Chains A and B, each alone.
Chain A
Amino acid sequence: MTAGQITSMAPPAPPTSGRLLVAPAPDYLAHLNTFGPLPATGGPQLLDQVRRSGLTGRGGAGFPTAVKLQAVAAAPGVAVVVANGAEGEPASGKDRQLLVDTPHLVLDGLQLAARLTSADKAIVYVRPDAAQAVRRGLAERMAAGVDRIPVTVVEAVDGFVTGQETAVVSRLNGGPARPQFVRVRVTERGVDGRPTLVQNVETLSHLALIARYGGAWFREVGTSDSPGTFLATVHQARVGAEPGSIWEVPYGLPIGQLLAASTDAPLEHLHAVLIGGYHGCWLPLPQALNAPLSAAGLAPFGGTLGAGVVVPLSSSDCGIEATARIVRYLAAESAQQCGPCQFGLPHLAGLMSALAAAGRTGNVGTGVAALAALREAVGLVEGRGACHHPDGTARLVRSAMDTFESDVMLHTQGRCAAQTHGGV
């Protein structure tokens, strides 16, 4: 089928159940049959739809997409658009899922972003395991002649902090994939010194749908503050669990409903859930079962959705040990370029590990000492670094101290509730 034949067909109606992951196959034909071709809507009209939709970034920061697009469009110089599929968070798999199963939505979104910012260069920054799917998709589009702006694929570097905006730009400029101290935002000066739009691949996918069905359609699900849907990576509650599964969730859905649909374990066996990934927060269960999955719904618990990672914790697992494990990982993932992070995070990891171990070994002294030092240790890393890696880690520890308060007390007495439940 040629491009000419396709555009003469009436575009399909918007999907009624699920939005992003509904194409039956990843190839271009299936994409066109499911969503129809990309409309030729002009920049200002399209931007208006994006603004109406209330679309925010799905990479974790949740920044309003229309504002970002406008900032890049307004900056002097010809822009560059980057689809960010680095997905440095190990517990998140949604970006990879999107790129492998429906790369054309992402690539459509990328072309739209280029149109909205008058960019002349587009880059897809993805991990090696998703790059092949993207390249295949690009070859199909090249054969059909549909992309106005040429697209390059750059393989992303492994690492937790490598997907951060300035780290991506640094890497694309030939430097290290590490967050940079920048006096000027990347929206003004980024790749090749040009205004750069770095947008998560899920955000671009939503953009591709908004262009077809409009901003009002986008708002048909979700809440008024958090319209639309998002992709969540939900894990099982078992320790050392298999990879998480991807769910498309409307904002505002109560956590309990998502967990009931996705988790094997009965809800009564869960005593906490980690929302927002490794820089997120622990929410206590069953208290938070009815909390809506949205910014407003999680705010009372001090949590944010981040990039949509959900990890439930069974009562037979120790929350402090789980947190200590994560903090040890985060400490090892420091870019090692800022002192407070480089030294403060391992220090924090050591204290959490000591507190966790005290519950197992019965060593009262270590537990008490660790707790006393923890408060100061958290304060030592917050706000002191070129990126939010130390802040995110601090947030996780604070929420653990809050949600697992009773466990913390038990640990300082050399006991652990999880052990009593017959856990590890």
Chain B
Amino acid sequence: MTAQPARQPARQPRQNAGSPKEKGLSVDWTACDGRGLCVDLLPELLEADPWGFPRPRPQSAAAPGPGGLTLIPEGLAGPARRAVHLCPKLALRLSE
């Protein structure tokens, strides 16, 4: 295990994540309750951790920082929007 490099001070997740066609999905962790609807809707990108909370699958890109940002490829924009709408705790945000 290598030590982490010095961390940046706490900032907002970057707004223009990835290419213009890709959106970023971020989680309000204070609201998320690990219900798992998002994991069911986006199995290509998300998986559940041992306690049910969503995490990006190893192959999908994720940016560091509070909330994190999972990049949503163009084809999955629909399911991503559904996940944001259906989340029982409204814990998901989709940013451009």
Cα A303 to Cα B3 in complex, Å, equals 8
Question: Which A255-281 residues have C-beta < 8 A from chain B?
Answer: 281
A165 interfacial contact with B, CB 8 Å = yes
Q: Are A391 and B2 also in contact (CB < 8 A) when A181-B29, A343-B51, A384-B55 are?
A: no
Q: What residues on A are CB-neighbors of B2 within 8 Å?
A: 302, 398, 402
Whether, in the assembled complex, A148 has its beta carbon less than 8 Å from a beta carbon of chain B, the answer is no
Of B7, B9, B32, B66, which contacts A395 at CB under 8 A? B7
Q: Which of A20-28, A36-44, A98-106, A334-342 contacts B (4 or more CB under 8 A)?
A: A334-342
Task: Report if A298-B6 is in contact (Cβ < 8 Å); known contacts: A378-B1, A380-B55, A385-B29.
Answer: yes
Q: CB-defined interface of B45-63 with A at 8 Å, one 1/0 digit per residue?
A: 0000111110100000010
Does B24 lie at the interface of the complex (its beta carbon under 8 Å from any beta carbon of A)?
Answer: no
Q: State in angstroms the CA–CA spacing of A4 and B55 once bound together.
A: 63
The distance in angstroms between the C-alpha atoms of A375 and B2, with both chains bound, is 11
Residues of B near A303 (CB, < 8 A) are 3, 6
- Interchain CA distance A9-B30 in the complex, whole Å: 55
Which residue on B lies nearest to A279, using beta carbons?
Answer: B7
* Proximity bits, A158-184, B CB within 8 Å = 1, else 0: 000000110000000000001111110
Q: Tell me whether B28 and A181 are in contact (CB under 8 A).
A: yes
Complex CA gap A374/B68 in Å reads 22
| B5 contacts A by Cβ under 8 Å | yes
A-chain residues with CB within 8 Å of residue B93 when the two chains form the complex: 183
Closest residue of chain A to B58 (Cβ to Cβ) is A379
State whether B3 touches A388 (Cβ < 8 A). Answer: no
Q: A338 contacts B4, CB within 8 Å? A: no
In the complex, residue of chain B having the shortest beta-carbon distance to the beta carbon of A337: B30
Residue among B29, B50, B51 with the most chain A CB within 10 A? B29
Q: Does A383 contact B (CB under 8 A)?
A: yes
For the complex, give the distance between the alpha carbons of A391 and B66 in Å. 9
Kindly state whether residue A386 has any CB partner on chain B within 8 Å. yes
* Bound Cα distance A383, B29 (Å): 10
Residues of A within 8 A of B32 (CB): 338-339
Q: Across the two chains, which residue of chain A brings its CB closest to B64?
A: A383
Interface size class of B (residues with CB under 8 A): 20 to 34
In the complex, the answer to whether A402 meets B30 with C-beta atoms within 8 Å is: no
For B7, the chain A residues whose CB sits under 8 A away are 304, 388, 391, 395
Q: Which of A328-351 contact B (CB under 8 A)?
A: 337-341, 343-344, 347
- Confirm or deny: A299 has a beta carbon within 8 angstroms of a beta carbon on chain B: yes
B67 at the interface (CB under 8 A from A): yes
Task: List, in ascending order, chain B residues with CB within 8 A of A180's CB.
Answer: 30
Given contacts A338-B30, A386-B29, contact A299 B1 (CB under 8 A): no
A387 close to B (CB within 8 Å)? yes
B12 within 8 A of A: yes
Tell yes or no: B34 within 8 A of A by CB: yes
Bound together, the chains give a CA A395 to CA B7 distance in angstroms of 10
* Chain B minimum-CB-distance residue to A397: B1
Q: B5 and A299: CB pair below 8 A? A: yes
Task: Judge if A301 is at the interface, Cβ distance under 8 Å.
Answer: yes
Contact of B66 among A295, A304, A386, A394 (CB under 8 A): A386
How distant is the Cα of A383 from the Cα of B7 in the complex, in angstroms? 11
Contact call B66/A383, Cβ cutoff below 8 A = yes
Docked-complex contact B29 and A339, CB < 8 angstroms: yes
Task: Show the binding face of B for A, using Cβ within 8 Å.
Answer: 1-7, 9-10, 12, 27-34, 49-53, 55, 62, 64-68, 93
Q: What are 6 of the A-B contact pairs (CB < 8 Å)? A: A178-B30, A281-B3, A338-B29, A380-B49, A388-B7, A398-B1
